[in-house]
């Protein structure tokens, strides 16, 4: 059970790797580490997405938490950012999310949030993992000291009202197509947009436990692009399964990714004098076009490795209020302390309403450079990356692209892969360079 926690909690195939037994042990360990205070009112809120395995894992996780004398507050189906917000406003010691985000329905995950809905530091996750692995000397209270379970019936409404409060003005006159990915935001995002005055056409918002992320949502935006054109809509918004990210589609059916959304937001905030520190935080995978757009505007770009937790850490460390990933996982830190697809969508709409410009014009503030990616399966990632032939080939490619583009070579955090990405103005050249590099990597072991 080594390395139980990945970059975003504990993930695996539900009922095989992520079993009810493991969920129960996680509940006991997390309940004790995060909320056990020897008093009766300590509590953890739990939300889940729409996967069929969510109920099973929630029951086991709840049992584990209650067994150490900690109360559980069930939110039901709730986007990950909604769980973070409810953890804060209900003033509970911790939160738990049962979701595997954009993964297929057979997968699931459990991740924990600290006070205020923040992500847990590695050291705290390490304490939980240690207790899961060796059992520890955890309490078994009896009688009235056993944890209670409470259903928070108005959880979705609390989150909806908060999101609505962040938007100033009206969406009247805008037609918006929303792809909910048959996930956690299916009953939330469309309602918020309608309440604000928009005409909303909703697709993939009928979850049945097994259709979450199935050829829909932010990882499969083609259906949304088609629907926006059919409906002659002003834009489309696409969530992933737990709605912590969003991608957009403009009125011409063109995809607007997380990099473009960050550029739109950063330029608008700067124009209003609201971009704290005059900086944004992105990952190494963000498009070169974002960097050039920010450079033109005099906005500093801070870079982290891939992973929203690293973006958040850098934001907190530097005082930045805007950061995110190309995937649409964007953090508006003054509004929520995690990526929030609904809030990101509202911020994008705010710029559209305030500027009275169509999304295609706003997205055009950033030129998106071609990116070519190749994944190479290897046995020993560290050995391959240190191989002399690989080091020399990477240097050669970087020299070829100097001043015109760039290359990123990184090991996958979850799979036996070396990920290669090249970026620049000439896609044919990028493909040729990566083919050569991939061949070198493949034969380096």
Active site amino acids: 101
Cα(326)–Cα(437) distance, integer angstroms: 24
Name the nearest CA neighbour of 222 among 244, 207, 241, 238: 238
CA torsion sign, 109 to 114 to 119 to 121? negative
How distant, in Å, are the alpha carbons of 42, 372, 423, 425 from that of 431?
55, 6, 10, 12
Q: In this structure, what DSSP letter does residue 34 have?
A: I
On whether the CB atoms of residues 324 and 331 are closer than 8 A, the answer is: yes
Taken in order 368, 308, 183, 351, the sign of the CA dihedral is: negative
Tokens representing 344 are 């990101």
DSSP conformation class of 147: P
Order of strands, sheet of 175-179, starting from the edge strand that comes earlier in the sequence = 199-203, 175-179, 235-239, 246-249, 255-256
418 forms beta bridges with 376, 411
């Amino acid at each position: 059970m080594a390395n139980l926690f990945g970059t975003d909690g504990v993930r695996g195939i539900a009922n095989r790797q992520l079993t009810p037994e493991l969920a129960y042990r996680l509940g006991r360990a997390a309940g004790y580490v995060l909320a056990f205070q020897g008093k009766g009112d300590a509590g953890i809120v739990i939300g889940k997405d729409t996967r069929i395995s969510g109920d099973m894992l929630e029951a086991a996780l709840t049992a584990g938490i209650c067994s150490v004398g900690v109360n559980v507050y069930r939110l039901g189906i709730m986007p990950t950012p909604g769980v973070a917000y409810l953890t804060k406003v209900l003033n509970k010691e911790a939160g738990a999310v049962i979701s595997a985000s954009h993964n297929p329905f057979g997968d699931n995950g459990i991740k924990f949030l600290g006070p205020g809905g923040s992500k847990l530091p590695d050291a705290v996750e390490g304490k939980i993992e240690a207790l899961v692995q060796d059992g520890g000397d955890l309490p078994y209270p009896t009688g009235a000291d056993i944890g209670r379970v409470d259903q928070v019936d108005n959880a979705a409404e609390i989150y909806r009202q908060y999101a609505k409060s962040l938007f100033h003005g009206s969406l009247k006159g805008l037609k918006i197509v929303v792809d909910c990915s048959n996930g956690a935001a299916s009953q939330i995002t469309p309602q918020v947009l309608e309440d604000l005055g928009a005409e909303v056409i909703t697709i993939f918002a009928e979850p049945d436990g097994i259709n979450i992320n199935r050829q829909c949502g932010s990882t499969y935006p083609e259906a949304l692009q088609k629907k926006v054109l059919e409906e002659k809509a002003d834009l489309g918004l696409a969530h992933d399964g737990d709605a912590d990210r969003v991608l957009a589609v403009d009125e011409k059916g063109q995809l607007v990714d997380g990099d473009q959304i960050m550029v739109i937001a950063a330029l608008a905030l700067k124009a209003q004098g609201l971009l704290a520190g005059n900086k944004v935080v992105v990952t190494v995978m963000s498009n070169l076009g974002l960097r050039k757009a920010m450079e033109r505007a005099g906005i500093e770009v801070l870079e982290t490795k891939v992973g929203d937790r690293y973006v958040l850490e850098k934001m907190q460390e530097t005082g930045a209020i805007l950061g995110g990933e190309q995937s649409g996982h964007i953090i508006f830190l003054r509004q929520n302390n995690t990526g929030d697809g609904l809030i990101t969508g509202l911020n994008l709409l705010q710029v559209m309403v305030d500027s009275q410009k169509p999304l295609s014009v706003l997205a055009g503030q950033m030129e998106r450079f071609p990116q070519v990616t190749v994944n190479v399966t290897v046995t020993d990632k560290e050995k391959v990356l240190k191989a002399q032939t690989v080091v020399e080939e990477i240097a050669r490619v970087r020299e070829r692209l100097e001043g015109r583009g760039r290359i990123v070579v990184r090991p996958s955090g979850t799979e036996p892969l070396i990920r290669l990405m090249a970026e620049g103005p000439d896609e044919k050249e990028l493909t040729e360079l990566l083919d050569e590099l991939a061949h070198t990597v493949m034969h380096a072991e």
